[in-house]
Amino acid sequence: MNDKLVCEFCQNIFDTPELRNRTRIFRGRKHAGTKLSEMLKEYSDSDAIVFGIPAGGVPVAAPVARNLKLKLDVAVVSKITLPWNTEVGYGAIAFNKTIELNEDIISRMGVTQEDIEADIDKAYQKVKKRFKMFRGEKPFPDISNRPVILVDDGVASGYTMLVAVEALKKMGAGSMVIAVPTAHLQSLERISSEVDRVYCPNIRGGGAFAVADAYKNWFDVEEKEVVNILKDF
């Protein structure tokens, strides 16, 4: 049984207490997905559908879908990054043009409206390319009134996850469930108010947070690996 995180305002978050604030928990993404599937057993063999966020979330989502005997699909999103530093994101955009922006960063970094429009267009071009690459001509599944389990390899700032949540809600998702192996507590609290349930075995607080720190074996996932995983389903 997963104990609820002790948090007055996030009673829909479920974690694994003995894994709180620990690092190097998972051997890799596949192991992390297997652990998540153990927390999600109540959805086994149901009408729920699993969505992985490419690229890193798909290798986590695959064992979740496989172990629970559920369908696997992708929710393609991309960070919107600063024009002068593509490592810093100030928002995200989804496959159906749903956008989430971090107004605080925009204000602090002096990002102009012209910059924002250009950065959004650049990010959306990436999303369109990946959507076509990963899904081909396959129609988007009908998720009306179906439980959706949205999976990524971790949550840092949370904007990528938030935009994926909003995009799937617009597509008619019934209940929204977030399943991530690791996350920063503050970001998870913010996301939890937008969904029905959150499952995250390794929640960490503090000022410094990196998703990679939860894994013993960490590397960037290539697009080709995502394509191959999806072909298996």
pLDDT score recorded for residue 9: 53
Domain boundaries, the chain: 13-76+144-232, 79-134
pLDDT tens per residue across span 117-128: 999 999 999 999
Q: Give residue 89's pLDDT.
A: 87
pLDDT at site 176? 97
* Angle subtended by helix axes 223-232 and 58-68, to nearest 10: 10
How far apart are the C-alpha atoms of 36 and 49, rounded to whole Å? Answer: 15
pLDDT of residue 85: 84
Looking at residue 213, what is its pLDDT?
Answer: 97
Pairing of strands 176-179, 197-199: parallel
Using alpha carbons, list the distances in angstroms from residue 157 to 27, 54, 97, 114: 23, 17, 20, 24
Nearest-5° Cα angle at 7, 159 to 201: 65
| Matching CATH number, 13-76+144-232, of 3.40.50.720, 3.40.50.2020, 3.40.50.1370, 3.20.20.150 | 3.40.50.2020
What local confidence, expressed as pLDDT, does residue 116 receive? 94
Position 84 scores a pLDDT of: 87
- For the chain, residues with pLDDT lower than 50 are 1-6
Q: Structure pTM?
A: 0.93
In this predicted model, what pLDDT tens digit does every residue of 17-58 receive, in sequence order? 999 999 999 999 999 999 999 999 999 999 999 999 999 999
**To the nearest 10°, the Cα dihedral for 163, 108, 208, 11?**
-40
